[in-house]
Amino acid sequence: MSKDAIKAGKVHLVGAGPGDLGLVTLRAKECIENADAIVYDHLANPDVLAWARDDAEIIYAGKQPGESRTQQQINALLVEKAREGKQVVRLKGGDPFVFGRGAEEAQVIASAGIPFEIVPGITSAIAGPAYAGIPMTHRAHNSHVTLFTGHEDPTKTESVVDYAALAKLGGTQVMLMGVERLGDVTSEMLKNGVRSDLPVALVRWATTGQQQTLTGTLSDIAQKAAANSFEAPAVVVFGDVVSLRDTLNWYEKRPLLGKRIVVTRTRKQASALSNKLRALGAHVIELPTIRIEPPSNLREFAELVQDAHIYDWIVFTSANGVEAFFDIFFKLYDDAREIGGVRIAAIGPATAQRVKDFHLHVDLQPEEFVAEAVVREFKKQGSIENVRVLLVRAEKARDVLPKELSAAGAIVDEAFAYRTVPETRDTRGAQRQLAQGGADLITFTSSSTVENFLALGLPWPKGMRIASIGPITSRTVRDQGLNVDIEARRHDVDGLVQAITELFAQKN
Ligand code: SAH
């Protein structure tokens, strides 16, 4: 064995599933979390990259016309990274061994003597029909399924797909990579005696918020696809099972289907909002505009955390603040009781939840989440004359809360727990997606997301509307000369999701 091979890392050939994040296997997620380097295809959902370590090297392998690295370059890249001793994840859409050249990559890796692992994924050939409400098999309709490719090696002169055999075989037949050649394929089938009224379905961008299905018969589907500019990637299902869609269609009935919605929170926080929007059928473009960084003066923050027990109240204004606080607190102390008899106030349900995660009781959780209302709630508790308050918050947050609490007689210390900085990296290609495909709506969940989104200087996609989480965020939007199309009545993620659903219900 050569020296290189001895220190070789490992290549994990991982199926990323057909698109829906929920259809990624646990093993795939684990591999992504552990990877030193990730090489991904355009069909692998880039949102899975949010699971990667911050220091993982992320490489887009293209494979879209015009931007492709050659297959040889990709093969060489995988070998090279593994030889550097890295844990390499090669992410492929669907299942790595169902078309799409995963098998060839595995052969190259194997013959280079590099250890490898195959992580199967849910293939679009199965998930696509399922999400279109088409079962692959049904006792009354078929007893076998065939997968075939419509895009063959262009150097071959004769088709290796035996259409005569397919015609004879019947059953459910699923074609991948064949939309461009649909006309040729359907006429071959007709020529070989398949009945012209055989139901056919095309499912495009299956299992994602952009899923579209087109149905027809063997004789008219190619023409319909052309008339609707129905483009790749799509799976094509031939067979009587297609007719079951009339009763089993479920995914395409959801209220936000096809809506392209931009989520602008930090990478870590985006998932709650994104997942809820996805569950309603939206295509979410996660475009983190800000990143959480330690405060400019970490020592000062740590000193305030250390002295937390001398206060009467700790007020948390964000989940990030709670996290930053306890991160330091448990570095300083190994006993939660060191926090003493201090009472805890939390603004917003997410903040309160984060406190509860640390097994601490929230003594005050204002019904309304804006600073003014919080001061009112404190006042309701009686005089706060000389009460000592530690306010844990972001650098450069608004001053209303400390000012009003001080005005009411409290002695307020501010602990700057973190700062938000613009997220300028585009490792997941979200900025590219926004530029190429536009969006129907952008969500803003804080004033800083507004400011930081605008600071990125991206062109505003045509017709993109704005949803805001609450009045303060809305004011910032308007100050920037933009309109708020919808504002959440309840100023949290659920409230925002509800407002968005209502907005799209109105206008449709
Ligand atoms: N390994 C992949 C297939 C790669 S070949 C898998 O198991 O799914 C690429 C083809 O897969 C595309 O041309 C298209 O036919 C199909 N495909 C992949 N993802 C798809 C999706 N989300 N929706 C529809 N078709 C998809």
Q: What is the CATH number of the domain that holds 469?
A: 3.40.50.10090
Task: Pick the atom of ligand 1 nearest to 203's CA.
Answer: 24
Could you tell me if the CB of 99 is within 6 A of ligand 1? yes
Task: Pick the atom of ligand 1 nearest to 96's CA.
Answer: 1
Domain that includes residue 390, residue range: 298-418
Q: Look over the chain and give the mean of its residue pLDDT values, rounded to a whole number.
A: 91
In the predicted structure, residue 8 carries a pLDDT above the cut 80: no
In the predicted structure, residue 368 carries a pLDDT above the cut 90: no
Winning range, highest mean pLDDT, from 6-15, 27-36, 455-464: 27-36
Q: Give the type of residue at 348.
A: G
Could you tell me if the CB of 212 is within 6 A of ligand 1? no
Winning range, highest mean pLDDT, from 209-213, 240-244, 280-284, 345-349: 240-244
Q: Report the range of poorest mean pLDDT among 154-158, 335-339, 485-489.
A: 154-158
CA of 177 to the centre of ligand 1 (A): 7
Q: What was the pLDDT predicted at 155?
A: 60
Does residue 284 share a domain with residue 318?
no
Report percent pLDDT > 90 for the chain. 73
Q: What was the pLDDT predicted at 4?
A: 47
Q: Give the type of residue at 427.
A: T
DSSP letter at 325 equals H
CATH number at residue 102: 3.40.1010.10
- The pLDDT tens digits of the residues spanning 244-262 come to 999 999 999 999 988 999 9
3-state secondary structure of 67: coil
Q: What was the pLDDT predicted at 369?
A: 65
Sign of CA dihedral 133, 138, 140, 146: positive
Establish if 2 belongs to a structural domain.
no
Could you tell me if the CB of 74 is within 6 A of ligand 1? no
Domain boundary among the residues 418, 443, 463 is at 418
Sign of CA dihedral 263, 265, 270, 275: negative
Does residue 142 share a domain with residue 243?
yes
Catalytic amino acids? 41, 63, 177
Would you say 436 and 285 are in contact if contact means Cβ atoms under 8 Å apart? Answer: no
Could you tell me if the CB of 324 is within 6 A of ligand 1? no
Q: What was the pLDDT predicted at 5?
A: 47
Region 310-325 average pLDDT = 94
Q: What is the pTM of this model?
A: 0.73
Specify the number of domains making up the chain: 4
In the predicted structure, residue 126 carries a pLDDT above the cut 90: yes
- Residues with Cβ < 8 Å from 289, sequence gap 6 or more? 264, 422, 423, 449, 452, 453, 455, 456
In the predicted structure, residue 342 carries a pLDDT above the cut 70: yes
Does residue 130 share a domain with residue 247?
yes
- The pLDDT tens digits of the residues spanning 107-116 come to 999 999 999 9
- Residues with Cβ < 8 Å from 53, sequence gap 6 or more? 33, 34, 35
Sign of CA dihedral 383, 385, 386, 387: positive
Q: What was the pLDDT predicted at 158?
A: 67
Does residue 414 share a domain with residue 304?
yes
CA of 479 to the centre of ligand 1 (A): 45
Domain boundary among the residues 122, 144, 170 is at 122
